[in-house]
């Protein structure tokens, strides 16, 4: 990653990369008992396919937009203690995360199908939030619950907008 100022998402490239790596590490931790080690997404960062690394980077870069949706912004110079998300905020951000993920997958050529097939880029999860099984919704909730800790790992805090 090159040095430089913040991108349009408010993150310096180094911070985005640290957050992306932390997102993936937490994903591995959360999915270890749910997915086989042979799943392409379950590989260590250094062995992860570039498209999956980019997905983590996109998720990191979208955090500021999600925070703005609940009335907060990033602060790189200190500020209040880490944000404690309410249940309602987690739910709202999880919906936004699912919408981001759907758009990302569709842009990459994924299509809707009854069974997930990574090689053919088919997934049953390219549906609206209301149509998702509760277990799949929880994946998005887990991702957004981690936002305060992910930002703290990059030296960032959240404050009211």
**Residue 92, in any domain of the structure:** yes
Domain with residue 120: its CATH number is 1.10.490
**Residue 4, in any domain of the structure:** no
What are the tens digits of pLDDT across the range 75-132? Answer: 776 666 678 899 999 999 999 999 999 999 999 999 999 999 989 999 999 999 999 9
What are the tens digits of pLDDT across the range 11-65? Answer: 888 889 999 999 999 999 989 999 999 999 999 999 999 999 999 999 999 999 9
pTM of the model: 0.83
| Position 3 pLDDT exceeds 60 | no
pLDDT at 1: 38
Count up the domains in the chain and report the number. 1
pLDDT at 139: 93
Strand partners, 160: 72
Q: Express as a percent the part of the chain with pLDDT over 90.
A: 71
For residue 123, report the phi and psi dihedrals to the nearest 5 degrees: -150, 145
**Residue 151, in any domain of the structure:** yes
Domain of residue 156 covers 13-160
**Residue 75, in any domain of the structure:** yes
């Amino acid at each position: 990653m090159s040095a430089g100022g913040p991108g349009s998402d408010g993150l310096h490239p180094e911070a985005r990369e640290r957050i992306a790596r932390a997102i993936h590490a937490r994903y591995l931790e959360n999915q270890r008992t749910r997915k086989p080690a042979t799943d392409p997404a379950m590989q260590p960062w250094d062995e992860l396919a570039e498209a999956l690394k980019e997905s983590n980077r996109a998720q990191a870069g979208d955090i500021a937009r999600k925070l703005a949706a609940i009335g907060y912004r990033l602060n790189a110079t200190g500020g209040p203690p880490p944000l404690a998300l309410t249940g309602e905020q987690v739910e709202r951000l999880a919906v936004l995360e699912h919408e981001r993920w759907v758009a990302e997958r569709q842009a990459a050529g994924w299509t809707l199908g009854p069974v997930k097939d990574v090689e053919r880029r088919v997934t049953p999860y390219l549906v609206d939030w209301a149509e998702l099984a509760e277990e799949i919704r929880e994946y998005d909730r887990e991702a957004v619950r981690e936002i305060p800790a992910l930002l703290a790992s990059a030296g960032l805090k959240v404050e009211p907008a």
